[in-house]
Structure 1
Amino acid sequence: MNENQPNTLPPEYFDQVYQANRDPWGFESSPYEREKYAATLAALPREHYPEAFEIGCSLGVLTAQLARRCGQLLAVDVSEAALAQARQRCARLPHVTVQRMQVPEELTDQQFDLILVSEVGYYWSAADLALAADLLLARLRPGGQLLLVHWTPPVHDYPLTGDDVHEYFLARAGEAGDLRHLAGQQHETYRLDLLEKRA
């Protein structure tokens, strides 16, 4: 955990990043991102998820690909600049809803068959990670799946690392709770873990 940045990064942080660069992480052009998106989709064991929730959709590059596997997809982000691009990208996908939402402070009451937390958990403080986990698991249907995908090297601005996020959820799955770990992958600079809510 980054002791110098204990607080969740605010929406203004992301607004400034997107104002400086419309695609700051190379989501549209990076071979790394393309490979990671392919691994993310390949990790999903079901061909179809009736209702899915993507947190931190950014420009909607992965959203548009994930949409092919979903009956309804709610994709959210805190940055309006990013969401404008996501809405444009998903404009011809009527089953995709793109919305501004700051998790965990704001959260829908809807229930989901799939929740994707990709490259967003390390922006939360440790307290917000714990709160988000509680709230998200409450919105996951029994038998529903939670997919975590995060960059693992430390970033000095971020309160947590990707490993912190995944280890937190895996610890919960290791307890006698309602979550079980289905699969995990360790890549050079990112990791992926799939969990399922016990029926």
Structure 2
Amino acid sequence: MNENQPNTLPPEYFDQVYQANRDPWGFESRPYEREKYTATLAALPRPHYPEAFEIGCSLGVLTEQLARRCGHLLAVDVSEAALAQARQRCAGLPHVAVQRMQVPEELPEKQFDLILVSEVGYYWSAADLALAADRLIGRLLPGGQLLLVHWTPPVHDYPLTGDDVHALFLAKAGDGGPLRHLAGQRHETYRLDLLEKR
């Protein structure tokens, strides 16, 4: 874990990144992202999730694809600049709600069949990650699924690595834990883990 940057990255960090570049991580253009989105959707074992929650939706590129598998999808991010693009991209999808929300401090009251935490957990401090894990497990319906997808190489700005994030959630899938681990994949620069609430 990076001791020099122990705090969760603030919304201003992301606003500055999006102001400098409308697609700073190449979500719309990089073959890496396209391949990862394909792997993400393929990892979901159910054809349909009545209620889904995507944390860190950014420009909504994955949101638009995930929406085909959802009865209702709530997609959230901390950056208004990113959300403006996500709202535009999903404007023709009335079952998708795009909102500004700062997880883990803010969470919807309802419970979900699917929660997606993709490329967002390493922006939290260790304390906020632990809080997020507990609160997100509380927002899963029994039998609800939690899909984690994260870049694994360290990034010096980020408080945690993708492996740190997955390790914390996987620890809750041990004996007697609230989750069970259904599947995992490790690719060259990212990993994916699917968990289910007991």
The two structures have a TM-score, normalised by structure 1, of: 0.99
Offset at residue 175 of structure 1 (A): 3.9
C-alpha distance in 1 between matches for 2:82 and 2:29 = 16
**Matching residue of 1:131:** 131
**Matching residue of 2:73:** 73
Correspondences of 1:64-103 after superposition (within 5 Å): 64-103=64-103
Question: What's the CA shift string for 1:86-133, capped at 9, x where partnerless?
Answer: 000000000000000000011111100000000000000000000000
C-alpha distance in 2 between matches for 1:138 and 1:106 = 13
**Matching residue of 2:178:** 178
Question: What's the CA shift string for 1:2-33, capped at 9, x where partnerless?
Answer: 10000000000000000000000000000000
Amino acid at match of 2:153: P
Offset at residue 176 of structure 1 (A): 1.3
Q: Is structure 2 residue 110 aligned with structure 1 residue 110?
A: yes
Structure 2, gaps ≥5 residues long: none
C-alpha distance in 2 between matches for 1:75 and 1:94 = 13
Offset at residue 45 of structure 1 (A): 0.1
Please report the RMSD computed on the Cα atoms of aligned residues, expressed in angstroms. Answer: 0.4
Moved over 4 A (4+): none
Amino acid at match of 2:8: T
Offset at residue 172 of structure 1 (A): 1.1
C-alpha distance in 2 between matches for 1:128 and 1:58 = 20
**Matching residue of 1:16:** 16
C-alpha distance in 2 between matches for 1:67 and 1:108 = 18
Secondary structure class of the residue paired with 1:4: coil
**Matching residue of 1:52:** 52
C-alpha distance in 1 between matches for 2:68 and 2:14 = 28
Secondary structure class of the residue paired with 1:195: strand
C-alpha distance in 1 between matches for 2:81 and 2:51 = 25
Secondary structure class of the residue paired with 2:193: strand
The two structures have a TM-score, normalised by structure 2, of: 0.99
Secondary structure class of the residue paired with 2:4: coil
Secondary structure class of the residue paired with 1:174: coil
Secondary structure class of the residue paired with 1:155: coil
**Matching residue of 1:163:** 163
C-alpha distance in 2 between matches for 1:177 and 1:162 = 21
Amino acid at match of 1:15: D
Amino acid at match of 1:16: Q
Amino acid at match of 2:93: L
**Matching residue of 1:151:** 151
C-alpha distance in 2 between matches for 1:78 and 1:11 = 5
Identity among equivalent pairs (%): 89
C-alpha distance in 1 between matches for 2:153 and 2:96 = 32
Secondary structure class of the residue paired with 1:52: strand
